A and B are shown apart, each in its own frame.
Chain A
Amino acid sequence: MFDDFIIRAFAAGIGLALITGPLGCFIIWRRLSYFGDTIAHSALLGVVIAYAMNFNLIIAVFAVSCFIALSLLFLQKRTNLPDDALLGLLAHSVLAIGLVLLGILSFIRIDLMGLLFGDILSVNITDVLFVWIGGSIVLIVLILIWRPLFAATVNLELAKAEGLNADLANAIFTILIASVIAISIKIVGILLITGLLIIPAAASRNLSSTPIQMAIISSVIGLVSVVLGLQTSMIWNSPTGPTILAIALGVFILTLIPLKKLLISKKKIELSN
């Protein structure tokens, strides 16, 4: 029989993979992979605040992430700096503030490795509930804003001109990313969450021909990676988060094999014989 903590790990991991699938697609389509990183870096500040004020970790990280995301929107409008420069500025300055605070508040002891790489085997029932309830809300909101968000992803001006509320959809999307990163902190950690957002979506791109297909396949690949990754890490006693990502990378490499072409050329050879 599975131990309880293993069942919780599976439940949390699978729930997370289902949300990161479609969100990761949008991150790839909009070239936002560095944005995910920035939010994840700034999560450290949220963690420090949570510990200092004895507050719920996920909510504190979510609040800080939202603040950073909205600061980015503000800076984009106020400065002429390119997005990657702004993201770099935010990521590292907020990370620095987090570390400074951590140093000053010497009574706080944080398991840094756990924070960076997550520990899916230590999630409790509250964490699982956060994943599934929070995740469902994120998915529902994403479905609701899908059309304006997707249209704005293809062409912002076109979406705006034809009466879609693209700015609102963009802002909501930013908050969705912040929430997913907050939810995932304990599971895969702040360094690996971007990987879980991007690798399954990237693998899915190689297999799909429509946007919705890509979002769904991405979820499935994430799910497979979580399940296989958890099992592998138990067999080899390897760290779980990195194992999940390594499996996802394996799936990505598999999707590079041009199956269709191979099948067609095989048929041709058979025919010519």
Chain B
Amino acid sequence: MNKSLVELNNCGVFRNHKWLVRGVSLKVSQGEIVTLIGPNGSGKSTTAKMSLDILKPDEGTNTIKKDIRISYVPQKISIDWSLPLRSIDFVNLVTKHKTSEINDALGITGIQHLINEDVRNLSGGEFQRLLMARAIAKEPHFLVLDEPVQGVDYSGEIALYKTIQEIVKKINCGILLISHNLHVVMSQTDYVICLNGHVCCSGIPSSVIKDQEYIKLFGSNIDPTLSLYKHNHDHHHLPDGSIDKADKNK
């Protein structure tokens, strides 16, 4: 059954005499990845916050299915220097987990060795992986990822997007993903919504990419160099930069 977890119906947010975003409708169902793309200030994060009910829409309605577990990876999060906080404490922030579950989640995002490290000693990329690990550990029904790979190195970015796809398969959750760059995420995405204060265009990735509105915003000339995901790897890159060959046992 493909029941929707979250639904926005013609939603808009009005702040300081202007609409931050208006007329957004979207639906995220179980096992589905919906991607929001758009330039800076186009209302991506605002839309994500409406889908989490942190922001109440000033027009339209947001409906969230009752009694579902929700995980959120915000775009910006800064830990105050006065807070003594280890990775393990951070994973336990909202829900308390067993140590084995925490190890698993940190393992999936490749930072298991940092479990007792103080959060402020983590690099930007490591912290981003920690945010992901915390979100996964909850085994959410609905997962919102606001630019989850910022600051992650290139091979890590690929690995993390793969991880996201694996998570959807494993725990069958619905994901709302925010990204600058459709090309990098396109092979994982089921549905794309292109925002620029309003919904410019939406649909499956291969059709959005040809849409005139999309081309106006992002241009089309970047296509050939960045269509990374059309081929299948026979190996994958580990976070530390080494290569784990899938066929090494042959």
Contacts and interface: CB of A to CB of B under 8 A. Distances in A.
Interface of A: 28-29, 31, 147, 150-151, 153-155, 157-164, 205, 208-211, 213-214
Contact of B70 (A162, A205, A209): A162
B96 to A, nearest CB: 8
Per DSSP, are chain A's interface residues mostly helix, strand or loop, or mixed? helix
Contact of B84 (A151, A155, A162, A210): A210
Given A155-B74, A155-B77, A161-B54, A147 B82 contact: no
A214 B72 CA distance: 27
Interface stretch (B86-94, B107-115, B181-189): B86-94
B82 A205 contact: yes
Given A154-B85, A157-B52, A158-B74, 11 more contacts: A28-B82, A147-B94, A151-B93, A151-B94, A155-B77, A158-B77, A161-B74, A162-B70, A162-B94, A164-B94, A205-B84
Please name the 9 residue pairs, one residue from A and one from B, whose CB atoms are nearest each other, closest first.
Answer: A161-B72, A161-B52, A162-B94, A28-B82, A151-B93, A160-B54, A209-B84, A208-B84, A157-B54
Per DSSP, are chain B's interface residues mostly helix, strand or loop, or mixed? loop
Nearest to B72: A161
Given A150-B93, A158-B94, A29 B80 contact: yes
Contacts of A158: 72, 74, 77, 93-94
Interface in B143-163: 144
B86 A209 contact: yes
B131 to A, nearest CB: 9
Interface in B178-234: none
B53, B70, B74, B82 — most chain A CB neighbours (10 Å): B82
